[in-house]
């Protein structure tokens, strides 16, 4: 199996359930433990942002996560039907600042950008699509 699609509700308690499914996918495809860890953490950060800030109503929404492994590249797509929101243009925190001056927040997307090789956002119709690419070392 080299692809996985999971639909979750817009509820952060779904994130550990998703992580379990991705770990299984990782085992079946012999992905390095580090890659699975990075993908799960990146998904946690993105999904937490989407769930917390992406919707203006308090309805239940579906979020779809697609993983595809092809020629040593793992591509993760996150589709949601929330408000238009491009996380890539959010500001990076200054990690050189001493502890007193550092604002508390903004870290999640920094982690995503540093753990993934490529992060791309597109708005397609009524949905946001965030793509995360990770190359597997040969």
**Nearest to other proteins of 1, 99 (CB atom):** 99
Residue 40 tokens read as: 């799960």
Q: Minimum CB separation from other proteins for residue 134, in Å?
A: 14
> Is the distance from CB of 66 to CB of 77 less than 8 angstroms?
yes
Q: What phi and psi values does residue 17 have, to the nearest 5 degrees?
A: -65, -45
The answer to whether 9 contacts other proteins (rule: CB under 8 A) is no
Would you count residue 48 as binding other proteins (CB under 8 A)?
A: yes
User: For other proteins, what does the binding mask look like between residues 106 and 135, x meaning CB under 8 A?
Assistant: -xx-xx--xx--------------------
Cα distances from 134 to residues 1, 69, 107, in angstroms, run 18, 10, 20
Site map 27..46 versus other proteins, x via CB under 8 A: -------x--x---x--xx-
Phi-psi region of 37 (alpha: psi -120 to 50; beta: other; left: phi over 0): alpha
Contact 68, 3 (CB under 8 A): yes
Binding site for other proteins (CB under 8 A): 12-13, 15-16, 34, 37, 41, 44-45, 48, 52, 95-96, 98-100, 102, 104-105, 107-108, 110-111, 114-115
């Amino acid at each position: 199996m080299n692809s996985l699609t999971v639909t979750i509700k817009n509820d952060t308690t779904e994130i550990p359930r998703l992580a379990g499914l991705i770990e299984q996918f990782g085992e079946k495809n012999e992905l390095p433990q580090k890659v699975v860890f990075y993908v799960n953490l990146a998904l946690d950060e993105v999904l937490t942002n989407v769930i917390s800030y992406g919707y203006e109503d308090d309805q239940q929404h579906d979020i779809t996560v697609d993983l595809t492994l092809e020629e040593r590249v793992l591509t993760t797509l996150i589709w949601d039907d929330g408000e238009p929101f491009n996380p890539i243009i959010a500001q990076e925190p200054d990690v050189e600042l001493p502890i007193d001056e550092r604002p508390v927040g903004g870290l999640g997307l920094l982690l995503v950008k540093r753990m993934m090789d490529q992060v791309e956002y597109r708005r397609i119709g009524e949905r946001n699509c965030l793509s995360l690419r990770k190359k597997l070392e040969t």
